Amino acid sequence: MKKIQISPSILSADFSQLGNEIKRLEIGGADMIHVDVMDGHFVPNLTIGPPVIKTLRSYTKLPFDVHLMIDPVHKYIKDYADAGADIITIHPEATENLTDSINHIKSLKKKVGVSLNPNTELSVVLDYLNKIDLILIMSVYPGFGGQKFMPEIIKKIKDLNVIKKDKNLNFDIEVDGGINFSNAKSVLDAGANILVSGTTIFKENNGDIEKNIKTLRIA
C-alpha cells in the first residue's frame, strides 16, 4: 500500500505571504505543494504563472505538484517545467493530443499527471494509465477553493483503484476538492493515496497547519 501523502493547495494561502506560507507547510509536515494554475478560460478564475512559481521554488525543497487548468496547455508545459514544477498535471480536454503532451512532460524529466473533472469519464484515460505517474480526480468543478465535496466521486475513485490493481499498475491516485476531516477517510478507503486540501489545512483549528495535516493523514 502506498504511503498517504498530503499536498496542501496554496490557493487558500495568504497570497501576500506565499513564500512564508510554503515554509509553514514544509515545517507542518506537507509532502508536496499543490499549485493551482488557472487561466480564466479553461476555468473561471485566474491565479499564478511561471514567474511566481520560479520565485517560490527557492522557499522549499518539497516537490511542486502543479495542476495546469489552462487551454491550450501543450505550448506552456516547458515554461512550468523550467519554473520548477516536479509533477505536471494536465486535463485531457485542454490538449489536442494527450499522447504528445504526456511525452513532452516526460522528455522534460517531470512526473506526469492527468486530471479528471467530475464529468470526465475514466474511459478517457484508460489507454494512458501505463504511461503516467498520477491521476488527479477532481471532487469539485475546478475554479475556486472552498467548494463542497461531491460524494458521488467516491465511486470513480473505487473504480479507478480496481483498474489499477487489475492491471498491476503503480500510479498515484490524488483527489482534490472539498477534502476535509469528515470525508478524508472515505476518500482514502476508496483508494486514493494523495489528498489535496487548502481551506481545511489553512483555516481549521485556528490555522494549526501541523495538526490539520496530521489529522488528514490519519483520517
**Residues assigned a catalytic role:** 36, 176
Using CB atoms within 10 Å of the CB of residue 195, give its burial: 0 to 12 exposed, 13 to 18 middle, 19+ buried.
buried
Q: What share of the chain is helix, strand, coil (3-state, %, to 5)?
A: 45, 20, 35
Q: Contact 2/212 with Cβ under 8 angstroms?
A: no
Q: Cell digits for 184?
A: 478524508
Closest to 110 in 3D by CA, of 68, 70, 73, 78: 78
- Using CA atoms, how far apart are residues 157 and 179, in angstroms rounded to an integer? 14
CB-side neighbour CA atoms (13 Å) of 155: 6
Pick the closest to residue 92 from 65, 64, 122, 66 (CA basis). Answer: 122
The Cα 78–Cα 100 span in angstroms is: 13
CB–CB of 216/179 below 8 Å? yes
